[in-house]
Amino acid sequence: MTPGPFIDELKQRAAALRGHVVLSEGTDDRVREAAAILERERICRVTVVTDPSGDPRVERVAGHLLARKPEKAGRSMERARHYASQPLLFAAGLVAIGEADATVGGSLATTADVLRAAFWAVGPAPGITTVSSAFYMVTRDRGVLSFTDCGVVQYPSAEQLADIAVAAARDRVRIVGDRPRVAFLSHGTRGSAEGESILRVRAALARFREIMPGVPADGELQADAALVAGVAERKAPDSVLGGDANVLVFPDLDSGNIAYKLVQRLAHAVALGPIVQGLARPCCDLSRGASADDIALVAAIALLQSSHP
């Protein structure tokens, strides 16, 4: 698959939502150009934040921040107003109070700053305690694959792995529009190896099946058993996936990050992301090297995350 058709379809589905995105770093020329792209292509309504201090909605955002985490605001409305006047927190707060559907930031701010604002204003989705990320790998031969987590949780526990998989499965339906088929990856397949990491993956699979029993999932699987029908038939003949996984859950950040970069560079896949997942409302991060087109595309993806299939 070439990325063009998928990206075009993604934008069309985002536009159909008639949503509203807040871009939190309006002092960046790329962000203003991205806003122009979004409006020109009629993907969504856009609010570009520069200095929120004079916006009347600061008061509502401040009240929300104070109510959510009074200790962070010093239990003071005055302090809460100070924080609510900061662009990242203001943008995330607008999403939290229903004034917008999604926010995108990180062209200037660090990932840590973007996530801190999201945690305070929005928090994790119901049933999720671990916020993570995914790359959507547009490949030539296998369509779009979700790689998760490749950017946030370094050494996930079994419970965190299950959370990561649940968030990725939910977002896949919204962003790609197909049925998730989840593989928990490891260096062994179905008992061919043992060890702590294997036990952790097995426990994560069991937990995932409790949370999402209707989603096909299997593990522990080596990558070839997850992706190649002939290999799956030999190594895991009773697997519900049959070598046709489309969500790959990596056992740690090292393996996930290495894998997506190898596939991107050697197989010439297009890597869309990292897309933050597991939040109650979409607050997406950017690479600080992002172009205006990249920012507009992440905004479209964030809108799709806000939908409820």
Same domain, 68 and 179: no
146 with 115, same domain: the answer is no
Q: What is the pLDDT of residues 230-279, one digit of tens each?
A: 999 999 999 999 999 999 999 999 999 999 999 999 999 999 988 999 99
pLDDT at 37: 98
Cα 302 from chain centroid? Answer: 8
- Measured distance CA(101)–CA(299) in Å, rounded: 10
169: nearest Cα among 137, 224, 236, 214:
214
pTM over 0.85: yes
83: in domain: yes
Residue 182 phi/psi, 5-degree rounding, is: -100, 125
Q: Please indicate, yes or no, whether residues 214 and 89 belong to a single structural domain of this protein.
A: no
| 44 and 159 housed in the same domain | no
Which strand (E) or helix (H) includes residue 283?
strand 283-284
Per-residue pLDDT for 1 more than 60? Answer: no
Burial class (CB in 10 A: 0-12, 13-18, 19+), 212: middle
Same domain assignment for residues 83 and 150: no
The candidate with the shortest Cα–Cα distance to 227, out of 166, 146, 158, 155, is: 146
pLDDT digit string, tens, across residues 271-297: 998 899 999 999 999 988 899 999 999
pLDDT of 87 reads: 97
Strands (E), 63-131: 102-104
Tokens linked to 258: 């290495």
42: phi > 0 → left, psi -120 to 50 → alpha, else beta; which?
left
Return the pLDDT at 57.
97
Residue 227's domain comprises 132-270
pLDDT tens column, 219-233:
999 999 999 999 999
Within a domain: 206:
yes
In a domain, 275, yes or no: no
Mean pLDDT of 159-165: 97
- 27 lies in some domain: yes
Average pLDDT over the chain, rounded to an integer = 95
What is the tens place of the pLDDT at every residue in 92-131?
999 999 999 999 999 999 999 999 999 999 999 998 999 9
Helix and strand totals (H; E) in the chain: 12, 10
Number of domains in the chain: 2
pLDDT digits (tens, 9 = 90+) for 186-210: 999 998 999 999 999 999 999 999 9
Task: Please tell me the predicted confidence (pLDDT) of residue 244.
Answer: 97
**70 and 185 share one domain:** no
Beta bridge mates, 135: 147
**Based on the domain organization, do 117 and 137 belong to the same domain?**
no
- Per residue in 28-64, pLDDT tens? 999 999 999 999 999 999 999 999 999 999 999 999 9
> What pLDDT does 61 receive?
98
pLDDT of residue 309: 62
Instruction: Report d(CA 79, CA 63) in Å as an integer.
Output: 10
Residue 290: what are its φ and ψ, rounded to 5°? -65, 145
- Residue 7 reports pLDDT greater than 80: yes
174 and 146 in a single domain? The answer is yes
At position 187, the amino acid (one-letter code) is: H
HSE-CB at 141 with a 13 A cutoff on CA atoms is 6
In whole angstroms, give the CA distance from residue 306 to residue 104: 13
Query: Mean per-residue pLDDT for 140-146?
Result: 93
Phi, psi of 23 (to 5 degrees): -100, 115
- Rounded to whole angstroms, the Cα distance separating 267 from 224 reads 15
pLDDT band at 308; cut points 50, 70, 90: confident
Residue 150 belongs to domain with CATH number: 3.40.50.10750
Residue 59 lies in a domain: yes
Q: Tell me, yes or no, whether 199 and 235 share the same domain.
A: yes
